[in-house]
Structure 1
Amino acid sequence: MGLKIFIKENLSFLLFELIIVLFILSVYWLDGFRNISTAIYTIVISMVLILSFLGIRYFLRQSYLNKISQLPNTMEDALQKNAKSIEHIQTENYLHELYRVYQHEVQALYASQTRQEKFMNQWIHQMKTPVAVLELLLQEEEPLDKKSVQEEVDRIKRGLEMVLMNARLEKFEEDMQIEQVNLKQIVTATINENKRLFITHHVFPETQIDEELVVASDSKWLKFMLEQFVTNAVKYTFEENKRVYITATNHDSEIKLTIRDEGIGIPKSDLSRVTKPFFTGENGRKTGESTGMGLYLAKEICEKLGHELEIDSEVGAGTTITLTFLKG
């Protein structure tokens, strides 16, 4: 098979050399040199030299030609090194680099699929809780407690929103739309949408944001991040009548938005890992509601939007999350 490929590759070269020899002989013939035996000798010698050259060339490339003449069984077959000529060596280098790119893409895809599968499994497991609570409420003979039903519905809505955003994150660039966002308005909207959560936990929000303060961001993704920060601040504040402080400060080159709670805080051993996917830590185990994806998604969104996320915390004193928006 390798020989067949080699003949096809060099047949045009062989014919070209033969044409050159015949052309030279025709020139001599027209010039009066008409010795037939010399002409035949010239053709034979030329063909012997050409075939010898091609034979040596085939010998040097035989292993490479045999390799490419057989269909590969695995991607690792592309890593073989059998080439001798500069052209084929360069081709092998190209294939090796292509293999590296392929492996990188496959690993990234596998990691993404694994993360999605693990997230969905955890999410489905957690959604069983509000569904089970709703079923119990419906089975009770007493009048339906609408407040309890609304709490469970809100939990399901927040879970669905996180699943939706996690799916959209894979095509973030297509979904992103940078615009001038009014910080006061988007923070107020986030608080209003989660007012039942504040009321249920007896936690009160306090905001101090200039009404004219705007930042360059994507309003949808920014609102999703704020919801994660606010819901975490409320969920991990176990004492009543505590507050969540949301403030914004305007600096020369940046704007900082701070969300500070008076909750239980994050242990120092967990602080560096809270933005890792599926990490719940000690606090997540206390509530049993954490998927370990909220702060991870927030961190990923910040990196894609060009914002900076900082998390500081002290056990027993609360947690402070700072979002930094660059100007211009």
Structure 2
Amino acid sequence: MGLKIFIKEHLSFIIFEIILVLFILLLFYLDGFRNIDTAIYTISISLILIISFLGVRYFLRQSYLNKITQLPTSMEDALQKNAKTVEYIETERYLHELYRVYQQEVQALYATQNRQDKFLNQWIHQMKTPVAVLELLLQEEGPLDPTSVQEEVDRIKRGLEIVLMNARLEKFEEDMQVEQVSLKDIVTATINENKRLFITNRVFPQIDIDQSIVVASDSKWLKFVLGQFITNAVKYTFEPNKKIYVEAKHTDSHIQLIVQDEGIGIPKSDLTRVTKAFFTGENGRKTGESTGMGLYLAKEICEKLGHELTIESEVGVGTTITLTF
């Protein structure tokens, strides 16, 4: 099979050489040479040279041709090195690089799929809690407590929002629409959407943002990011009558949005890892509600939007999250 491919590859070369020899003989004939021995000698020398050249060329390509004529059994077969000529060495180098790119893409897809599966399994496990609470409320005699029901519904809604945003993150560029956004309007709308969470935990928001401050961002994604900051600030403020401060600072070069709480704070050992996927940390184990995906998604979204996210915290004092536009 390798020899057949070699002949097909060099068929045009052989035909060209035959035409060249005939052309030389024609020149001899037109110039007056009529000696048949000269013609035979010319043809013989040409054939010997052509066959020798093709023989050496085939020998150099034989191992490579044999490799490509056999069907591979695994992707690692592409990493074999059998070429001896410059052309085939470059072809092998190209295949090796292609294999490396393929491996990176496969690993990225595997990591994404693994993250999605792990997150979905963890989310389903956590959603069992509000569902179980709702079932208990329905089984109780007497009138249904709408406040308790609403609290569990809100927990389910927040969980569904994280799942939806996690799914959309894979096609972020198709879903992104950057525009001039009023920072105060976004913050106010986000706090209003979580007002029951504030009331339940007896935590109070305090906003200090000038109405004239606008930033270039995507309002939907930015609202989700702010929602993660605010809900985390409320959830980890265990003492009642505490405040969450949301303010904006405008300088010549950038705008900073600062969310500061008076909660339990984040241990230094956890601070560098709170934006990692599925990391719940010491605080997450205290509440039992953390999926470890909220701040991870927030960080990913901020990077895609071009916003800088920094987190500072002190145990027992509180946490400060700064979003720089």
TM tier, shorter chain? over 0.9
Unaligned runs of 5+ in 1: none
For residues 157 and 224 of structure 1, the distance between their equivalents in structure 2, rounded to whole angstroms, comes to: 13
> Partner of 2:129 in structure 1?
129
Greater shift, 20-29 or 185-194, is seen at: 20-29
SS of structure 1 residue aligned to 2:320 = strand
CA shift for structure 1 position 40: 2.1
1:275 aligns with 2:279: no
For residues 97 and 175 of structure 2, the distance between their equivalents in structure 1, rounded to whole angstroms, comes to: 31
Aligned residues: 325
> Partner of 2:264 in structure 1?
264
For residues 7 and 28 of structure 1, the distance between their equivalents in structure 2, rounded to whole angstroms, comes to: 30
CA shift for structure 1 position 30: 2.1
Greater shift, 144-153 or 32-41, is seen at: 32-41
Greater shift, 66-75 or 285-294, is seen at: 66-75
> Partner of 1:192 in structure 2?
192
CA shift for structure 1 position 44: 2.0
For residues 41 and 15 of structure 1, the distance between their equivalents in structure 2, rounded to whole angstroms, comes to: 19
CA RMSD of aligned residues (A): 0.8
> Partner of 1:251 in structure 2?
251
Q: How does 1:277-316 map to 2 (within 5 A)?
A: 277-316=277-316
Amino acid at match of 1:313: S
For residues 251 and 278 of structure 1, the distance between their equivalents in structure 2, rounded to whole angstroms, comes to: 35
For residues 41 and 24 of structure 1, the distance between their equivalents in structure 2, rounded to whole angstroms, comes to: 12
> Partner of 1:64 in structure 2?
64
Q: How does 1:1-328 map to 2 (within 5 A)?
A: 1-325=1-325
Question: Percent identity between the aligned chains?
Answer: 80
CA displacement 1:146-198 (0-9 Å, x = unmatched): 11111111111100000000011111111111110100000000000000000
For residues 55 and 153 of structure 2, the distance between their equivalents in structure 1, rounded to whole angstroms, comes to: 79
TM-score of the superposed pair, with normalisation by structure 2? 0.99
For residues 86 and 317 of structure 2, the distance between their equivalents in structure 1, rounded to whole angstroms, comes to: 68
Amino acid at match of 2:220: K
Unaligned runs of 5+ in 2: none
For residues 33 and 165 of structure 2, the distance between their equivalents in structure 1, rounded to whole angstroms, comes to: 87
For residues 118 and 24 of structure 1, the distance between their equivalents in structure 2, rounded to whole angstroms, comes to: 75
For residues 39 and 219 of structure 1, the distance between their equivalents in structure 2, rounded to whole angstroms, comes to: 86
CA shift for structure 1 position 43: 1.1
SS of structure 1 residue aligned to 2:292 = coil
For residues 48 and 205 of structure 1, the distance between their equivalents in structure 2, rounded to whole angstroms, comes to: 94
